[in-house]
Every structure is written in structure tokens, then in C-alpha cells.
Amino acid sequence: MERKGDEQGWIGKGPFDAAFQGAAELVGKRWVAAVIWAVVHGRHRFGEIRNAIPGISDRLLTERLKELVERGILCHVEEDSGPGYQLTPRGAALRRVLIALHDWAKAG
């Protein structure tokens, strides 16, 4: 079945796309999507993000936050209540992807 837009190269020129693979591996890495999802929903401080994700350890959350900052998905911000994180424009672009994934998962 051909998807709308496939005839214009919507799904790429071949079976492998390095940029797509890199993005899929980043978002698919353990806890990454959950961290981004927490920030999309307005949790910006470390403790708020940790509390929004049951089961994540402080060490792993620290690693994921650092990686997401390094990859340009999140940035550090100073808030009145202390330091926190927010989505960069690049990270905000993932919002649609995560909503689609959420809807797909809920549809079962």
C-alpha cells in the first residue's frame, strides 16, 4: 500500500536513511522519549521531571538530560525557582512526533 506523498519521495530514496536511523535511535533510547514528554507537559526542574517518570534513577535522568542538551533538544534555563530545562526549537519539533506515537500506542 502506497502512502500519500510516496510518489514524491516522502519516505526517502532507499531502504536506509542515516538521519532517520539516528533520530529513531535517540528517541528510542531508554527514557529519552519519557524525558522529552515530561518537558513537553511543562515539567522543567530536575525533581519535577524525575517525579513525572516512575522508575527512572537520578543517575540515568542526569545522563539523559545531559545528552538531550548536547544534542540540542533541551537547553538549561534559569527560573525564579532555580535551574531547569526547556525544549529548544529543535526539541519542540519533536512534540508532533511524540503526540503521534502516543496516539498510535493508545489505539492499540
First to last CA, the chain: 21
Q: Using pLDDT thresholds of 50, 70 and 90, give the confidence band for residue 1.
A: very low
Residue 82 pLDDT > 90, yes or no? Answer: no
* Mean local confidence (pLDDT), 29-37: 95
User: Has this prediction a pTM greater than 0.85?
Assistant: no
Residue 60 pLDDT > 50, yes or no? Answer: yes
- Report whether CATH 1.10.10.10 matches the domain 29-107: yes
* Mean local confidence (pLDDT), 69-96: 92
Contact 29/63 with Cβ under 8 angstroms?
no
* Mean local confidence (pLDDT), 31-40: 95
Residue extents of the structural domains in the chain: 29-107
